Amino acid sequence: MTTMSDAYDFDDDFDPTEAFELPEELRVDGEDSAELPPMEYDAPPAMIADELPAFGYANPTNNDAEEPYVLDEPAIVGNSYGIDQPVPQISIRAFCERPDTVAMIAAAALDRRLSRAHVEASLGGLPEAIEFFQNENTPNLILIESGMRGSALFEQLEDLSNVCDSGTKVVIIGAANDIGLYRQLIRRGISDYLVPPLTPLQLIRSISDIYVDPEQPFAGKVTAFIGAKGGVGASSLAHNVAWQISEGAKTGTTIVDLDLSFGTAGLDFNQEGSSNIGAALDEPERVDDVLLERLLTKCTEHLSIFTAPATLDREWELDPSAYETVISQVRSTVPHVILDLPHAWSGWVKSTLFAADEIVIVASPDLASLRNAKNLYDLAKSSRTNDTAPKIVVNQVGVPKRPEIPIKDFADALGAEPVLVLPFEPQIFGEAANNGQMIQEVKADSKTAEGLAHLAGLLTGQPCAPQRKSLLNKILGKG
C-alpha cells in the first residue's frame, strides 16, 4: 500500500511504530499547548459519518479468468508481484463510525494474512473507544475511524492516550487526504493515517508494515501445487516449474515436498538423502537458518529441495502450525518457495494450501478431475477474496483411446480458463523421471518445456526460459 509517507521525505525523527503516547510538550493542558503547529482545518466535531467520502468497498480481487496459453505462440509473462507479510499473533480492536467500515474490517479479518490475529470491530468511533478502555486493557492495536479534524480530534486523542496501556499502537481511518494532518498525527504517536477509498488488503498492509520484523523484512513468494486427483502430474509440474524459475530467472528457489509418505522430489532430482523435512516438522520451534542449511538438499546454484521422508512407518497428522512455522522460515531465505502438496484433504493440507500466495491446480480432462478441480477452485476463490484466483493447468491431454472432455467444455463447466494446457507426452516425462532430470534438460525444444517456462513466467513476472546452447557452444562443449 502506498501511504502519504511514501510521497514525502519527512525530517521527523519520530518512530511511528512506537507505542501511542502524546509527547508532554504537545499535550493540550501542557504549558506549551499554545505552540501547537497551526492546522489547515478546524472542523467541528459534528463532521463524522454523513460527511465522510464513500469507501471503495468492492472486493479488490484479481479473479478475472486468464487467457489460456497457446503453445504455438510465445509466452507472455505476467506483471511483477508484491508479497505481503502475514501479521503476527496480535489483538486488534476497531471503533468505527460507519457500518461499511465495520464490514470492511470484518472482511480483512478473514484474510489469510490476518489468520493469527484476533480482530473485533464495532460502531462508536473515538468517543466510544475512550469510554470502553476506561475499564478494559487496551489491545496491541486500536483502529479508530474519525471524521474530525483540528483541536477537537487532538483533544480526544489525548484522552485516548491517557487510557492506553504501554505498547498499544493506534491507526486512524480519517476523512481528509491532508498531508499536514497526517504529519501532525504521526508526530503525536499515531502509527498510520488511512483515508478512503480503503480496501481490506490496504488495511492489512498497513498493519503488517507496523509489525513486520525490521531484522527480517524479506518474505519470498509461496506457490502451492495440488492435483485435482491422483496421477495428474502435479508433482512433476511443480518440480519442473521450480527448476525453470531457478535456472531461467537465476533466482533462489526451494521445493518443499509435503507428500510426506510418497514424495518424489528426491527421485526427480536424483537427490535421495537421509536429511528431509520430517526432522523440521517434528521440532518446528528449532528451525532456523542453520538447521535449514543442514536439512536442505542443494541441487543447483539456485535450487534446493526439502525432500519428503517417503516412508510408511508413521503418519504425519501434525498440527497445521508446525507446517506454517517451517514454511515461514523457508520463505525468509529465498525469493520463491514451491510447495508440492499431496492429493489429500486434511486440516493441515487445507490450511497450507490456502495460506500460499498463489495456488496452482493441476487437472486432467476427465469428469472426476473436473469435479474435484471445480470444488477446489470455488472453495479457494470464496475463501481468499483478496487474492488472485487459483491457476488451472490441464495436463495429459490427448491420451490415445481415452475419451476426454474438450478443453472449451472443461473451462465452461469450471468457470475459469486454464492458463496452460499440456499434451500427453509420456516418453519425455518418463525419460526425465528415470534419469533424474527435468523436461528442459531432456527435450528443450518441446512444447511441454515451452509451456512450463510460460507457467514459471506467470508465477514470477519475468521470463523463465533457460537460454539454449548455441551451436558453437555445443561444438566447443561450453554452456
Please state, in angstroms and as integers, the Cα–Cα distance from residue 467 to each residue in 65, 399, 470, following that order: 30, 31, 9
pTM as predicted: 0.70
Please write the tens of the pLDDT for every residue from 65-99.
Answer: 444 444 433 332 233 335 667 787 788 999 999 99
Cell readout for 92 is 486488534
List the chain residues with pLDDT less than 70. 1-84, 213-217, 273-274, 466-479
Cell readout for 247 is 535456472
Report DSSP letters for 259-284, one per residue. -TTT--HHHHTT---S--HHHHHHSG
| Rounded CA separation 226/404 (Å) | 21
Nearest to 20 by CA among 163, 190, 158: 190
CA angle centred on 318, ends 315 and 321, rounded to 5° = 160
Domains of the chain, residue spans: 4-64+78-211, 221-466
Is the distance from CB of 404 to CB of 397 less than 8 angstroms? yes
Report DSSP letters for 442-469, one per residue. H-TTSHHHHHHHHHHHHHHTS--PPPPP
Alpha helices in 133-226 (DSSP H): 151-163, 179-187, 200-211
Q: Where are the beta strands (DSSP E) in 101-180?
A: 118-123, 141-145, 169-173
The CATH classification number of 221-466 equals: 3.40.50.300
Please write the tens of the pLDDT for every residue from 34-50.
Answer: 333 433 333 333 333 33
Please state, in angstroms and as integers, the Cα–Cα distance from residue 352 to each residue in 312, 326, 329, following that order: 22, 11, 14
Which amino acid is it at 145? E
Options 3.90.70.10, 3.40.50.1000, 3.40.50.2300, 3.50.50.60; which CATH number does 4-64+78-211 get? Answer: 3.40.50.2300
Q: With the C-alpha atoms ordered 21, 93, 321, 298, is the resulting torsion angle positive or negative?
A: negative
Is the distance from CB of 225 to CB of 362 less than 8 angstroms? yes
| Rounded CA separation 313/310 (Å) | 9
Kind plus residue range of the DSSP H or E element containing 471:
helix 471-476
The C-alpha cell 463532521 sits at 47
| Rounded CA separation 404/398 (Å) | 8
CATH topology identical between 4-64+78-211 and 221-466: yes
Q: Any idea how long the chain is?
A: 479
Q: pLDDT at position 301, please? A: 85
CB neighbour list of residue 181: distance below 8 Å, 6 or more residues apart? 39, 40, 41, 149, 174, 193
Nearest to 94 by CA among 203, 208, 18, 195: 203
Q: pLDDT at position 36, please? A: 38
The C-alpha cell 499535550 sits at 27
